[in-house]
Amino acid sequence: MAWLDAVAFDENGLVAAIAQDADSGDVLMLAWMNRAALAETARLGEAVYFSRSRQRLWHKGERSGHVQKVESIRLDCDGDAVLLSIRQHGGIACHTGRRRCLFRQLVNGQWQTTDPVLKNPGDIYGQ
């Protein structure tokens, strides 16, 4: 697909993908996509990333049910960043059970956790 050729995948074949909540505007997480993940995200209308740790496509929510419905896909000027506007199923994007992965804020030289755990990871992943 021609639109995929505009994406500047890096030396590992990946592009950074930011997921932003379509309602609140909050940035929830940053993950990575290879060409297949981005193509599948567009086809499916749900976020599909590439898991660097597992080295495979990762349909977000495949285990947790916390699927991200994609409202729009954006690309930056030099093609190496993608922005997804998404609706987060279950209201939890982070594997720690928090609303977003970006749950720490730098305050007086220390990272403060600002967001509560909404659901125990053991309950999310059935461990």
Examine residue 55 and tell whether it contacts its own copies (CB under 8 A): no
CA distance 3 to 80: 13
Contact set for its own copies, span 10-39 (CB under 8 A): 16, 18, 20, 24-27, 29-30
Examine residue 78 and tell whether it contacts its own copies (CB under 8 A): yes
- Nearest Cα to Cα of residue 69 among 44, 51, 50, 94: 44
Examine residue 51 and tell whether it contacts its own copies (CB under 8 A): no
Phi and psi based region of residue 62 (left: phi greater than 0; alpha: psi -120 to 50; beta: remaining): alpha
Examine residue 122 and tell whether it contacts its own copies (CB under 8 A): no
Examine residue 58 and tell whether it contacts its own copies (CB under 8 A): no
Which tokens belong to 47?
């976020």
Q: Does the annotation flag 101 for ligand binding?
A: yes
CA distance 30 to 62: 17
Q: Residues in the site for its own copies, rule: CB under 8 A? A: 1-3, 6, 16, 18, 20, 24-27, 29-30, 42, 72-78, 80-81, 83, 94-96, 98, 101-106, 109-111
